[in-house]
């Protein structure tokens, strides 16, 4: 199972690591190649450019589908990333992210 952990260091800088059973932990790639919302890095807990980059990176990694990640990251940001607490650390599984994406796709399809 793949899990993402986010936290702020003592300087307030946001970090996200990817934990996979049987694999070495790694830093989440911000995927600025898909869209460069925030060259300064990740953020969460409000609706801005840093949270957009966080949403994009999480979706790209959890889904393994860059096209879907780009198409859905703003909805994921609004529904999930901007709701995260700015204070404490957080943890989210790739399975949870995929479940949320299915719900977003259902809602987006209903709006079309």
CA 51/CA 53 separation, integer angstroms: 5
The helix or strand, by DSSP H or E, that contains position 93, with its residue range, turns out to be: strand 90-93
**Above pLDDT 70, what percent of the chain?**
97
- pLDDT score at 112: 45
pLDDT tier, 13 (very low <50, low <70, confident <90, very high otherwise): very high
pLDDT tier, 109 (very low <50, low <70, confident <90, very high otherwise): confident
Q: Which pTM was predicted?
A: 0.94
């Amino acid at each position: 199972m793949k899990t993402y952990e986010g936290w702020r260091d003592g300087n307030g800088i946001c970090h996200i690591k990817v934990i996979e059973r049987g694999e070495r932990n790694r830093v989440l790639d911000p995927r600025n190649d898909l869209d460069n919302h925030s060259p300064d890095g990740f953020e969460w807990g409000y609706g801005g450019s840093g949270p957009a980059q966080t949403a994009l990176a999480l979706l790209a990694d959890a889904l393994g589908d860059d096209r879907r990640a780009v198409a859905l990251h703003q909805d994921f940001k609004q529904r999930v990333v901007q709701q995260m607490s700015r204070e404490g650390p957080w943890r989210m599984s790739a399975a949870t992210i995929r479940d949320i994406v299915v719900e977003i796709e259902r809602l987006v399809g209903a709006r079309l």
